[in-house]
Amino acid sequence: MCGIVGYLGDKQAYPILIKGLKRLEYRGYDSAGCALLNENLELKVYKTKGKVSSLEEYCKDKDVSGTLGIAHTRWATHGEPNDTNAHPHYSQSKNLALIHNGIIENYLSIKQMLTKNGYKFQSQTDTEVLVQAIEFVKTKYDCSLFEAVKRTLHFVIGAYAICVIEKGKNDTLVAARKGSPLIVGIGEGDFFIGSDATPIVEYTNNVIYLDDEEVVLLEKGNRPLINTINNEEIEHDISKIELELNDIEKQGYPHFMLKEIFEQPKSFDLCMNGRLNVEKKEIKLSGIIDHIDKFKQCNKIIITACGTSWHAGLIGKYLFEEFCRIPVVVEVASEFRYRNPVIKQGDILIPISQSGETADTLAAIELARKKGAFIYGICNVVGSSIARATDSGTYTHAGPEIGVASTKAFTTQVIVLTMMALSIGKELKTITNEKYESIVKELCNINEKVESILEKAKEIEQISKIFTYARNFMYLGRGYNYPVALEGALKLKEISYIHAEGYPAAEMKHGPIALIDDEMPCVVIAPLLKTYEKVLSNIEEIRSRKGKIIAIVTQGDKDIKNIADMCFEIPQTEECLTSILSVIPLQLFSYYVAVEKGRDVDQPRNLAKSVTVE
């Protein structure tokens, strides 16, 4: 949440900052701002409520010259989204400007101390407290900005990725992180800062990933100097970013979300590449091969995640229990971290995360590690905090996901979980060879089936137009498709702002059926699986209460087609893989409903991708 970008070099900073902010806008879009040091070494701050385009408009007649600058796009935590609360924040003397992603938890006590020392505050943010505190320390100890940042962060509790610049010093930028992401790009004679690699990739592939409680001093002509807040000098290897510019552009699609839905076959190829051997009909995941004994000996697996990734985790439970016979519990990370969960030595925690930065999932990892669990992560973003906090894991390699609503991340997470369950099940001999080979073969063919669904996107678009009137939706599914019902409902809520509930189909009778009337559309995921007949009865129950039914069925289905108001066919596949196919029409449905309602699909209200605050 919140995107930060910085530049120090010989080029004009402003265009680089604006382009970077546009790439990071998915992380928050309540307000935007930048700070620049011009030729006269004056420190200028420009900021405004709204999106990056509003900032550009605001800056049209301003002096935006300078080769050092920092910029921010905000997702509000402390203080409403307005011009004053927007970042950057000046210090009292206006000598320092700072941008921040995260939350300073003890900001009130620091504020009290600063107020006693004569400091006055303009905004309601925790961030302004931080920049004032740095100035206070700098003045008190008469030290450099780098030293002042280290000393200040000593008494700061919370999460931060920050960048600070100083009036009169157009060759120095100081940045630091703890719990929020921050990457330093090393160009030819210049430096870049980004919350992720997207603002940097155009200029350099060489980056340094800072670790928690590290502060970096970037000075023109010098190598980056990295210290911990305890003053230990740190050397980091330079890493390469594996990201193509094409991956982070819309490439002709009206929205990133639609691009990412249509990109799923490519993402599946990347996810299975080198892991699934079509000829030998076998799966090789290096993380699982290296740690197979841990899985053989474990008593239980705990899967933890948030939102869409948690839905993938629920499918993981079905997979591991069916094919590995290992007990699995699936936990929402924000609940898990504050309970006192039973974790024994030898248990395995599988955190799942697209961004690899979700604060609650990171905290769940720390808790489980302390209690002795082995941590095996499933992440999309290479080098992310969660990827680095795990003992081992498997990347989904879905490619960058920029639309706020998660799509290809979900399906690739399910593919990774399937490959893991099959690999472990084979070793444990809890899956027959026939079943293993049949699922592997089906995984090899899955893309043809996905393509055949995407080719029929227009059908979904037509169906969506009929239902934009609805204020509430019910999504029902069973078995592997129950988490798909949750996911379909979440997709609709977050981008079209229509209330939707996901339920296990048979659970409907225990309460939610009271909601059904002729204005309540029900999306029923009803492919030809072992519970088909049961779902058919659930559909009859809805019909007899005049509910409208949109059914996702297997190609050639007759019975449900006869009773549902609308049907969308998906190809037949192995039961454990149906979720990969059945979720795609639901992704498309929510997309088209949102477009029809004129919603901001890629940047829905109140949301941000990468939830780095709890």
Interacting span for ligand F6R (CB under 6 A) from 60-68, 245-253, 350-358, 503-511:
350-358
Q: How far is the CB of 49 from ligand F6R (least distance, A)?
A: 24
Interacting span for ligand F6R (CB under 6 A) from 287-295, 303-311, 437-445, 589-597:
303-311
Q: Which is nearer to ligand F6R, 272 or 405 (CB)?
A: 405
3-class secondary-structure state, position 536: helix
Binding mask 391-410 for ligand F6R (x = CB under 6 A): --------------xx----
Of 498, 496, 475, the C-alpha closest to 549 is: 475
Asked whether the beta carbons of 539 and 560 are under 8 A apart, the reply is yes
Instruction: Give long-range contacts, CB 8 A cutoff, 24+ apart: 222-230.
Output: 224/184, 224/186, 224/191, 225/146, 227/146, 227/150, 229/150, 229/153, 229/154, 229/176, 230/154
Q: How far is the CB of 523 from ligand F6R (least distance, A)?
A: 17
Using only the alpha carbons of the chain, give its radius of gyration: 25
494 touching ligand F6R, by CB under 6 A: yes
Asked whether the beta carbons of 21 and 55 are under 8 A apart, the reply is yes
CA dihedral 350, 351, 352, 356 (to 10 degrees): -140
Q: How many CB atoms lie within 10 A of CB 139?
A: 15
The C-alpha atoms of residue 529 and residue 552 are separated, in whole angstroms, by 12
Of 223, 492, 279, 266, the C-alpha closest to 397 is: 266
Interacting span for ligand F6R (CB under 6 A) from 114-122, 131-139, 239-247, 351-359:
351-359
Q: What is the DSSP-derived secondary structure letter of residue 600?
A: -
354 touching ligand F6R, by CB under 6 A: yes
308 touching ligand F6R, by CB under 6 A: yes
Q: Which is nearer to ligand F6R, 311 or 426 (CB)?
A: 311
Q: What is the DSSP-derived secondary structure letter of residue 100?
A: E
Asked whether the beta carbons of 519 and 545 are under 8 A apart, the reply is no
CA angle 383, 104, 90 (to 5 degrees): 100
Number of residues that bind ligand F6R (CB under 6 A): 15
Nearest-CB residue for ligand F6R: 307
361 touching ligand F6R, by CB under 6 A: yes
Out of 21, 148, 306, 420, the residue judged to bind ligand F6R by CB under 6 A: 306
Within residues 461-490, the interface with ligand F6R by CB under 6 A covers 490
The C-alpha atoms of residue 444 and residue 43 are separated, in whole angstroms, by 57
368 touching ligand F6R, by CB under 6 A: no
Q: Which is nearer to ligand F6R, 307 or 341 (CB)?
A: 307
Within residues 595-614, the interface with ligand F6R by CB under 6 A covers 610-611
Question: CA-CA distances (angstroms) from residue 319 to 326, 423, 431?
Answer: 10, 11, 11
The C-alpha atoms of residue 388 and residue 379 are separated, in whole angstroms, by 10
Q: Which is nearer to ligand F6R, 204 or 353 (CB)?
A: 353
Residue type at 219 in one-letter notation: E
Q: How far is the CB of 447 from ligand F6R (least distance, A)?
A: 23
Q: How far is the CB of 44 from ligand F6R (least distance, A)?
A: 35
Q: Which is nearer to ligand F6R, 358 or 481 (CB)?
A: 358
Q: Which is nearer to ligand F6R, 33 or 307 (CB)?
A: 307
Q: Which is nearer to ligand F6R, 1 or 164 (CB)?
A: 1
- Active site members: 2, 609
Structure tokens, 67:
């080769």
Q: Which residues contact ligand F6R (rule: CB under 6 A)? A: 306-309, 353-355, 358, 361, 405-406, 490, 494, 610-611
